Amino acid sequence: MPPARHDRHSVVTTALRLLDEVGLPDLSMRRLATELDVQPSALYWHFASKQELLAAVADSILRTVPEPDARIALPEVARSIRDALLACRDGAEVVLSTYALRLGARRAQDALLAALGGGDQPAADALFEFILGHTMLLQQRMHAQSIGAVAPDDADPTPDAEAVFTAGVDGFAELSARRRPS
């Protein structure tokens, strides 16, 4: 029987499943190809590079972020981004790597920009980077705890994570409001 034919969507869906199972460090093109029962070179029919594949994975991770709409409150947009990142193992790291290379869609950044009232791209980008960093910290701590590398203790940053996140989002909102021309 000939191998199954795959499209971009099925490759991304399988990559997301593998990401949740093995994490970003072990998500290789070879492992993905084995999972899809194809040769690794077949993946390059759909994606020019692993980074291009990861950009599509990042876009899929962020698919639940609302479309840019100034009527959606900033905290709601920020939480939707954080929740989307937390829903996928190593989600923040995948999105950060594609953001750093300016690959993939700008859906999250554009939603933040709209929620900030538009026109303050530096504030929207800074808030997005705060959300990525905050979520990476949470994901790394949760992973370390899950494998027994660290125990919950007084130095654990995760118990106050919601208060820290809220303070950060509120701080960016205030800064952006002060920067807007009157």
Residue-level pLDDT at 5: 72
- Identify whether the C-beta of residue 139 lies closer than 8 Å to the C-beta of residue 89: yes
pLDDT attached to residue 144: 82
pLDDT tens digits in sequence order for the chain, 182 residues long = 444 578 899 999 999 999 999 999 999 999 999 999 999 999 999 999 999 999 999 999 999 999 999 999 999 999 999 999 999 999 999 999 999 999 988 999 999 999 998 878 898 999 999 999 999 999 988 888 777 888 777 677 677 899 999 999 999 888 877 777 66
Domain covering 64-179: architecture: Orthogonal Bundle (1.10)
What tokens were used for 170?
């509120």
Model pLDDT, residue 181? 66
Q: What angle do CA 18, 21, 24 make, to 5 degrees?
A: 65
Q: Specify the pLDDT at position 173.
A: 85
Give the residue extent of every domain in the chain. 1-47, 64-179
pLDDT score at 154: 60
Domain 1-47 has CATH 1.10.10.60: yes
Sign of dihedral through CA atoms 143, 149, 151, 153? negative
- pTM listed for this prediction: 0.89
178-181 contact pairs (CB < 8 A, 24+): 179/120, 179/123, 180/117, 180/119, 180/120
